[in-house]
């Protein structure tokens, strides 16, 4: 019976360490369950040494987590999984370009904006969103702001 407790403990520690490679909580949760089960089996098999069994298993679990946090990022597998560079705008990592020339332009609603839809501005079809209200097809709208690919419009006042 003591060998099954030892094997469960080793398997639990291995699963806890595997959690650093395959995050998601399943390996870590199963590992913790294995360690608790091995602790219960060890305490049942040798009740006189229950304190030392619990202390040893908790220390082993803490050491394995510390090793996983400190050693894993420096390993070859950890280096392969961790991004080395940052994605800055100067290197070309930008969202869609803003067409600031659209601000203030008027256009016609092609599909009803509820609040998203399509408008026609300067002969071009543009995906747009209203400023929060429903705007029917055929209504004249004015572009009030542009942020990347997000074009916000409001119903134009008729004169």
Q: For the CA atoms of 86, 88, 91, 92, what is the dihedral angle to 10 degrees?
A: 120
> What pLDDT, on a 0 to 100 scale, did the predictor assign at position 95?
67
> What pLDDT, on a 0 to 100 scale, did the predictor assign at position 100?
87
**Which residues does 153 contact at the CB level (< 8 Å), separation at least 6?**
107, 113, 119, 128, 129, 130, 131, 135, 141, 142, 143, 144
Q: Which residues of the chain have pLDDT under 50?
A: 159
> What pLDDT, on a 0 to 100 scale, did the predictor assign at position 158?
66
**Which residues does 120 contact at the CB level (< 8 Å), separation at least 6?**
107, 108, 110, 126
> What pLDDT, on a 0 to 100 scale, did the predictor assign at position 135?
94
> What pLDDT, on a 0 to 100 scale, did the predictor assign at position 132?
84
């Amino acid at each position: 019976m003591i060998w099954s407790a030892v094997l469960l403990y080793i398997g639990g520690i291995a699963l806890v360490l595997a959690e650093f490679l395959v995050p998601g909580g399943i390996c870590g949760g199963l590992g913790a369950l294995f360690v608790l089960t091995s602790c219960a089996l060890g305490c049942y098999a040798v009740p006189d040494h229950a304190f030392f069994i619990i202390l040893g298993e908790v220390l082993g679990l803490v050491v394995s987590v510390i090793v996983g946090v400190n050693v894993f990022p420096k390993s070859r597998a950890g280096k392969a999984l961790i991004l080395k560079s940052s994605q800055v705008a100067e290197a070309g990592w930008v969202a869609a370009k803003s067409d600031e020339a659209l601000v203030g332009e008027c256009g016609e609603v092609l599909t009803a904006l509820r609040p998203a839809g399509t408008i026609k501005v300067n002969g071009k079809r543009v995906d747009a969103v209203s400023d929060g209200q429903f705007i029917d097809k055929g209504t004249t709208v004015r572009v009030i702001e542009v942020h990347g690919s997000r074009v916000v419009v409001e119903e134009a006042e008729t004169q």
